[in-house]
Structure 1
Amino acid sequence: MELPILFSSIPNLLSFFIFFFVIYIIAYFLIFPSWKPNLRPEASSCIISFFHGTPAVVFAITSLLSDPHRNFHSPNTHFQNMVLDYSIAYFLMDLAHYLVFYPSDVLFIGHHVATLFVFVTCRYVVYHGAYAILVLLILAEVTSFVQNTWTLANARKGDVEFAAKVYAVLSPPFYGFYSLVRGIAGPYFVYRMLSYYVSGAADSVIPRWVWISWVFVVVTAITVSIMWVSNLWVQLYRDMKRKFDKKVR
């Protein structure tokens, strides 16, 4: 790791982390003070996710389009590194959120640690491959706005009628959109990524242990995502069947 590059990035990381921290504090103490104590942390996490997900997608797309030499092992541009720093800061903040409020949630903590490993190795270890990582970031975060809205509605659907309506209306299209991205687009891109790296075309700049770990993390994340949304589809079917049965009676 080149120390000058590391030190020059610290101001960006620190600024982005403070940005997400301040938003979290505002959400926790000013936006959701009337929410139940067990819901306020999750709701605050959704708010910082709003400020990360869609902006990160826009930043990532812009950074990739501005790089005419992009490929699976091209050197990271300054803009791409900034996007990686932005996401690293977000996941560090959300990881802190889970460690403080949900220390037993091993699945999400593991997910965040693994995601940080991918971003950090791309940004600070190999300095190449941001194209692959940012496309994966786009696929991961393109559903975040809808997912966060759905999550907030789900949290209050039991005691707020409007939240229940939003949850009911949003669930089918959200599940469908999420399924297409995580079940089709994601696996297809990972297949292309794996095929490229297996060919050895990137071995001179991205060590095999790095890209193998990237692929392992991404495949694991996609598998868990598919299982999660599959369970949601099953629950939706059961709820609709139960409502239909009640009407018939």
Structure 2
Amino acid sequence: METHLNPLPFFFSIFFTIYIIAYFFLFRNWSPKIRPEASSCAISFAHGTPAVFLASGAIFSDAGRGFASPNTDLQNSVLEYSIAYFLMDLLHYLVFFPADVLFIAHHLVTLFVFFTCRYVVSHGAYAILVLLILAEITSFCQNAWTLARARRGDVEFAGRVCDLLSPPFYVLYSIVRGFFGPYFLYKMGEFYVNGGAESVIPKWLWISWIFVVATAISVSILWIMNLWIELYRERSSKMEKKKGR
């Protein structure tokens, strides 16, 4: 009898294993305060960049791709891969940072988009995967920056890495989240508003997708703006100290 492995539990087990290895072995000598965050970065490393390549392959392998096109098997697998990651990271926040309502809400609404695209309508994966690419294309740099930032107070090298990564990471993140993301969301919304998917994606659902993505992009823009302000203040403070010597 032929059996098929259910991708979602399989992918979840991979991320769970990576998290456990990172927490109990890779970062075992790190401060208990930052070990959970570092372990979250570990599973993000395992998801982000691979998701960009997987999603790109799933999109370009579909000759009929479009905002209302049916999901291919490969596209569904990529959605399940990302669902597994967000479920694992959501578990991480619920265990270690239950008061972090913003991130928990972000993961819940992201899961809503992936789940409905994969299991409710089975259409629209093209749009969701492009948005996934735009969200994750900066993840490798962001995770490296996050780890360096977490250790910069007690490891000099980490501080240097953080200082080195901050400007290029901020620039890349600003371009992707401030320009490409909003532009693609506009094209996506324009298609749906004009009724391009009315026969396969209910109006309430695509409106929910647009709202979730628009909110996520807005929060991302506010986050990077605060980081730019913080960087400016840090650099200004350092210059003033040098002048005062």
Q: Same fold (TM over 0.5)?
A: yes
Q: Give the TM-score taking structure 1 as reference length.
A: 0.96
Structure 1: runs of 5+ lacking an equivalent: 1-7
Q: Which residue of 2 aligns with 1:151?
A: 146
Give the 3 Å change call, closer, same or farther, for CA 110–9 of structure 1 in structure 2: farther
Q: Which residue of 2 aligns with 1:16?
A: 11
- Helix, strand or coil at the partner of 2:6: helix
Q: Distance in 2 between matches of 1:180 and 1:201?
A: 28
Does residue 201 of the first structure (1) align with residue 196 of the second (2)?
yes
Report deviation, 1:248: 1.2
What residue identity is the alignment partner of 1:149?
A
Give the 3 Å change call, closer, same or farther, for CA 224–98 of structure 1 in structure 2: same
What residue identity is the alignment partner of 1:196?
F
Out of 109, 112, 115, the position equivalent to 1:117 is 112
Q: Distance in 1 between matches of 2:235 and 2:148?
A: 18
Equivalent runs, 1:89-104 vs 2, <5 Å: 89-104=84-99
Does residue 169 of the first structure (1) align with residue 164 of the second (2)?
yes
- Helix, strand or coil at the partner of 1:76: coil
- Helix, strand or coil at the partner of 1:47: helix
Q: Which residue of 1 aligns with 2:134?
A: 139
What residue identity is the alignment partner of 1:164?
G
Report deviation, 1:201: 1.1
Q: How many residues align?
A: 242
After the TM superposition, which segments of 4 or more aligned residues of structure 1 sit over 2 Å from their partners? none
What residue identity is the alignment partner of 2:216?
A
Q: Distance in 2 between matches of 1:190 and 1:118?
A: 14
Equivalent runs, 1:16-35 vs 2, <5 Å: 16-35=11-30
Q: Give the TM-score taking structure 2 as reference length.
A: 0.98
Q: Distance in 2 between matches of 1:135 and 1:177?
A: 17
Report deviation, 1:11: 1.3
- Aligned-residue CA RMSD (Å): 1.0
Does residue 81 of the first structure (1) align with residue 71 of the second (2)?
no
Q: Which residue of 2 aligns with 1:49?
A: 44
Q: Distance in 2 between matches of 1:116 and 1:58?
A: 20
1:180-208 per-residue CA deviation (whole Å, 9 max, x = no partner) reads 00000000000000000000010000000
Does residue 212 of the first structure (1) align with residue 194 of the second (2)?
no
What residue identity is the alignment partner of 1:30?
F
Give the 3 Å change call, closer, same or farther, for CA 9–202 of structure 1 in structure 2: farther
Q: Distance in 2 between matches of 1:193 and 1:187?
A: 10
Q: Distance in 1 between matches of 2:84 and 2:238?
A: 44
Q: Distance in 2 between matches of 1:242 and 1:35?
A: 29
Report % sequence identity. Answer: 66
What residue identity is the alignment partner of 2:209?
W
1:125-171 per-residue CA deviation (whole Å, 9 max, x = no partner) reads 00000000000000000000000000000000000011000000000
Report deviation, 1:10: 7.5
Report deviation, 1:9: 8.7
